[in-house]
Structure 1
């Protein structure tokens, strides 16, 4: 628990140093924004706090031989950005603990770190790498697919599997799964997160780009040079 508490406090201090509330201060909750207006992040933030705690608490609310854990952290990172995603994911872990009588605070902290902060941080680093590798102007409109497939789909699978492997290395095992199959189970669960994140990121790019703090028209939809 000491490791998880240290990582959570460190991530929270770094996130608060970036003053993430500035992204929300000038916006009203659930306000309908015109196209091109500042990102309406209140909607994805409140949706995350309303839905994700139940998804995290669900495996402990029902006694199942194989408890599959859905994270959603990479999607939260794409929607809110890392500084705002960190306190949000910690709040999700706290709410999940309140919703589930069998989920203790140490387990909720481990869930918030290894299913929330860790994959979100890895997704942040992957996003920086993707942006650095996108310097080739010949990509043109294909940059949209780089965002959806690279960051939303394949990137989510890799980040979730890496975070799950780190969690297993620190002693967080999957209930009902043997040690020999744990990595296989984490790999399969990572693709479940990847399908949901990739699908929703594609929908948001097409219809609600203002819900994606990591999306930029200038970066992913560059204008052709004259």
Structure 2
């Protein structure tokens, strides 16, 4: 039942993303960050397999991908990342599926929602983008994804893990610092690598 739920969630995300045909964006400057993500992110996802038992520190990178590529293209890139992790790593397919959904797809989808809310309710501002969406939005998305995973795992019959919420909260800030720092650097030096960034929107002078 648990594996079926994860598989359905993954298929739904991939079908929606493919329907939007995001690969058309690869004809521009986003090809470089997309290829870099496929080359580098699998090694970040493989890190828990190389750490001592019980010390499972996991970075995601999914929220950063949404900022850089947009949600549809990020979903397809995360599928490629999960495939590499499955082929190169030692984890069975069901564990890689959980990692793909709950470390990748769910935080990416929540980050999309946070970004939409910030665009709707807060002014278009450089600091709203870097501190609000990239930093705080990532922390919120990662923590909510972790809470949902723990809750659904218990419903599926798995025993509750002690201090799980504290660990999820702390790990969420690791991704938040990564995404916030990278987002600020990209805004300053390579804004063309950010599909969600617009000079016209975020750098326009305030209206009188």
Residue number in structure 2 paired with 1:147: 129
Residue number in structure 2 paired with 1:197: 179
For residues 61 and 15 of structure 1, the distance between their equivalents in structure 2, rounded to whole angstroms, comes to: 32
Matched, 1:182 2:170: no
Deviation at 1:64, TM superposition (A): 3.4
For residues 20 and 195 of structure 1, the distance between their equivalents in structure 2, rounded to whole angstroms, comes to: 27
User: C-alpha offsets along residues 46-90 of structure 1, whole Å, 9 cap, x if unaligned?
Assistant: 111111101101111333331111111100110010010001111
Residue pairs, 1:61-210, within 5 angstroms: 61-101=50-90, 103-135=91-123, 143-171=125-153, 179-210=161-192
Residue pairs, 1:207-226, within 5 angstroms: 207-225=189-207
Residue number in structure 2 paired with 1:21: 23
* Unmatched runs of 5 consecutive residues or more in structure 1: 28-39, 173-177
Deviation at 1:224, TM superposition (A): 4.5
- State the superposition RMSD in angstroms: 1.5
Deviation at 1:41, TM superposition (A): 0.5
For residues 154 and 211 of structure 1, the distance between their equivalents in structure 2, rounded to whole angstroms, comes to: 20
User: C-alpha offsets along residues 13-50 of structure 1, whole Å, 9 cap, x if unaligned?
Assistant: 111111101111x34xxxxxxxxxxxx11111111111
* Unmatched runs of 5 consecutive residues or more in structure 2: 155-159
TM-score, with structure 2 as normaliser: 0.92
Residue number in structure 2 paired with 1:33: none
Over 6 Å off, 4+ runs:
none
For residues 40 and 100 of structure 2, the distance between their equivalents in structure 1, rounded to whole angstroms, comes to: 15
Q: Report the 3-state secondary structure (helix = DSSP H, G, I; strand = E; otherwise coil) of the residue aligned with 1:85.
A: helix
